[in-house]
Amino acid sequence: MNSIVIGSGFGGIAAALRLKAKGHQVTLVEKHPDLGGRARVFKKNGFTFDGGPTVITAPYLINELFDLFKKDPKDYIELTPLKIWYQFIFEDKTKFNYSGNEAEMESQIQKINMVDVKGYERLVNFTKKIFDKGFTELADVPFDKPFVMMKQLPALLKLKSYKSVYSLVSSYIQSEKLRRMLSMHPLLVGGNPFSTTSIYGLILYLEKKWGIHYSMGGTGNIIKGYEKLMNEVGIKILKESEVTKIISKNNKISGVQINNQINIDTDNVICNADPPAVYEKLLGQNKNDSILFNWKKNRMEYSMGLFVYYFGTKKIYENVEHHTIKFGNKYKEHLDDIFDKKKLNEDISYYLHRPTATDKSMAPEGNDCFYVLVPVPNNQSKINWDIEGEKMKKLVIDKMEKDLMPNLSENIIEDFYLTPDYFEKDLNTKYGSGFSIQPKFTQSAYFRFHNKSEVYDGLYFVGAGTHPGAGVPGVLSSAKVLDKII
């Protein structure tokens, strides 16, 4: 069996390795000169900046791809657990160190609101039930038939899937500070906590199950380790090779065209690309999509965009943890602006990544390395990032200077930023969304783009836009679905 995988993010690489382990002849096609997709690496004057995912959970999903070929992951990558998972900073400058140490968690919760200690325990117990069903049982189940979804509906309703994550958390927690902190997880996969189905509350327990890890040398080192493995097991890798057309006849996939000139025959095409881009750009010459499928595709709502500012400093900020999340004064109003009104707001929340807190190799000696990620509207907003990009950069620097990094502006020696335009143009995501479609209940499982195309025989999807969703555990699990359908 001959299979072509388009895109070299975590999902694409995992799909290529799993198919190779099943005996397929596999070719991985990547349009950029380097592998990784959202997990690409940018190197600037001695600084190493991870392009994308930096919160590593469920490390077994990363390791088992090496296990498929009886290889020891430690020969390729080094994952280290973090003691403090996130430091949350609230608008009143109070801090909360979020970790797997339950005694410390409950002690900090007690200082905010005594009553919420019991509520927190009950919330964690409930998210374990969601995790057992939504992740352990269903993450790698193909949801390509309506009856599969119907069969699960009673259990999903029992788990209050009709509630939002924020609503679920609020039913256990009184403090608004704690509600924000314990409901923020949908933002890690592109969802609004006020509209994302409570099934995604499983992320809270997922973190507790295996902890949060960091890849020494950066997330890019996991990609590098996988590339070494792919070369060893005989997966053909084509870089700087953009698939410009998927060839089909009578809705049966027969090949791909690369760089508008080279045709390669294949039995299967597995796309780690955003599903709308595949259907609209790579298969757009075909007009025989079903009316029902077109309705489904056109009704999809997309995740927020991301403004990501990468910077290196000549000063070392020892007081900044590896992962910091800073909430703005307003929470729901800010998220409404991003997801619904599609407008910018100066009262931003942000996630700050400082890999040098754990790994000094990410910056030249005596320097510090960061990126800050700000949720912003996707490109349905029509925001002109050529103008707004510099304004957002200045706003972010000003906020960080006031919040936790004194004199930041005069200590920055290397920087650049990415906007939703990068995600739309370079990564081919619809509207420049950071995480493909939103993780609402009506866009989950059967209601997402299917792992096995509803329209074309021989076309498959892995990655953020298909089941089970975005995030490293999600996209790696989407590749496991392929084991059951190819």
- Name the pTM for this structure: 0.96
Question: Tens of pLDDT along 447-458?
Answer: 999 999 999 999
Mean pLDDT of 368-373: 98
**pLDDT for 359:** 98
Task: Examine the pLDDT at 463 and tell me if it is beyond 90.
Answer: yes
- 3-state DSSP of the chain: CEEEEECCCHHHHHHHHHHHHCCCEEEEECCCCCCCHHHCEEEECCEEEECCCCCECCHHHHHHHHHCCCCCHHHCCCEEECCEEEEEECCCCCEEEEECCHHHHHHHHHHHCCCHHHHHHHHHHHHHHHHHHHHHHCCCCCCCCHHHHHHHHHHHHHCCCCCEHHHHHHCCCCCHHHHHHHCCHHHHHCCCCCCCEHHHHHHHHHHHHHCCEEECCCCHHHHHHHHHHHHHHCCEEECCCCEEEEEEECCEEEEEEECCCEEEECCEEEECCCHHHHHHHHCCCCCCCCHHHHHHHHHCCECCEEEEEEEEECCCCCCCCCEEEECCCCCHHHHHHHHHHCCCCCCCCEEEECHHHCCHHHCCCCCEEEEEEEEECCHHHCCCHHHHHHHHHHHHHHHHHHHCCCCHHHHEEEEEEECHHHHHHCCCCHHHCCCCECCCHHHCHHHCECCECCCCECEEECCCCECCCCCHHHHHHHHHHHHHHC
Question: Tens of pLDDT along 401-418?
Answer: 999 999 999 999 999 999
Confidence band for 7, pLDDT divided at 50, 70 and 90: very high
Q: How many residues does the chain have?
A: 486
Mean pLDDT of 124-145: 95
Question: Tens of pLDDT along 202-242?
Answer: 999 999 999 999 999 999 999 999 999 999 999 999 999 99
Task: Examine the pLDDT at 195 and tell me if it is beyond 70.
Answer: yes
